Amino acid sequence: MKIVVLDGYCLNPGDLSWEPLERQGAVTVYDRTPAEEILERAGQAEVILTNKTPLTRETLAALPHLRYVGVLATGYNVVDTVAARERGILVTNVPAYGTDSVAQLTIALLLELCHHVGAHSGAVRSGAWTTSADWSFWRTPQVELAGKTFGCVGFGRIGAQTARIAEALGMRVVVHSRSQGVALDGLLAESDVVSLHCPLFPETRGMIGASQLQRMKPSAFLLNTSRGPLVVEQALADALNAGTIAGAGVDVLSVEPPAEGSPLFTAKNCIVTPHIAWATREARGRLMEIAAGNVAAFAVGAAKNVVN
């Protein structure tokens, strides 16, 4: 099989091997592929792997040899799956590879909001402790999580794992999902921490906007390590700047890379990381193995992790 990887750099910037995929056929890997170069690079491909390079209806129609698209991620909205199905092109994704890593970063954002470890370390290194009149000082309120309520919005693998860690910290967990738990409005009003773990669907886009933020406690934190468009970013920035909520930690934005001047960049007590929750070497290694396994299963007529 002729296999083309359109945007392999984020998955493998050089610390992993493509060998599991190379066992499946002749592999060509591009670090990044502009939309206008997809047809030139993948015109003869039977198998395409993509992470964030979009494959639209028009692009799929211009790839006559294509039989399979493997998305190097769990979310697969970069591919027009309906158009792929119409053309007999199988689309797969990679579920569950990053559960522990994403949950870990979610809690890291929460702990940073509670303690601002980086800022305090920077203050010490700049001499603030040396010149302090007291044996201890803090620049931000220090927050204990034990006994507080952790509101988990979405309760798939990642949400459930994050909730387990929150419980280990002594927090009480409440859940809102499509199949269980409390109503969203009730969770927002009750929780000291609201953590989003939902897929991006039309009904979840913008699910946290101005009216939802108004329902939260002034002392509450919002976390989003799922999908950026779940949150209306200007509304979140306004809520942070007005003191409607106390802080936010996000690893995802509605446009990635973001435009210069995103409202969250200057919002009060807002931590923004560059979509790194998935990026541990361990998680990326699992992603590589599962993606290669998906291709191998397709090759023998036993496709798995099919999304269309």
223's tokens: 């976390």
% of the chain at pLDDT higher than 90: 96
Cα–Cα distance, 269 to 219 (Å, whole number): 12
pLDDT at 237: 98
Lookup result for tokens 């921490």:
193
pLDDT at 181: 86
pLDDT at 75: 87
% of the chain at pLDDT higher than 70: 100
pLDDT at 295: 98
Mean pLDDT of 289-295: 97
Cα–Cα distance, 188 to 22 (Å, whole number): 48
At residue 178, does pLDDT exceed 90? no
Could you give the domains of the chain? Answer: 2-97+281-299 (3.40.50.720), 99-272 (3.40.50.720)
At residue 180, does pLDDT exceed 90? no
Residues involved in catalysis: 227, 256, 275
187's tokens: 């969770």
165 vs 3, 161, 169, 176, 280, CA distance in Å? 40, 7, 6, 17, 18
Asked if 180 and 202 count as a contact pair (C-beta separation under 8 A), the reply is: no
pLDDT digits (tens, 9 = 90+) for 77-136: 899 999 999 999 999 999 999 999 999 999 999 999 999 999 999 999 999 999 999 999
Higher model confidence: residue 261 or residue 231? 231
Pairing of strands 193-196, 221-224: parallel
pLDDT at 287: 97
At residue 170, does pLDDT exceed 90? yes
What average pLDDT does the chain have?
A: 97
Mean pLDDT of 210-233: 98
At residue 179, does pLDDT exceed 90? no
Please give the full DSSP string across 223-254, using - where no structure is assigned: EE-S-GGGB-HHHHHHHHHHTSSSEEEES--S
The counts of H helices and E strands in the chain are: 11, 11
At residue 204, does pLDDT exceed 90? yes
At residue 293, does pLDDT exceed 90? yes
At residue 27, does pLDDT exceed 90? yes
Tell me which of 94-98, 179-183, 220-224 is least confident.
179-183
In the chain, where do the E strands start and end?
2-5, 26-29, 47-50, 68-71, 90-92, 149-153, 172-176, 193-196, 221-224, 247-250, 270-272
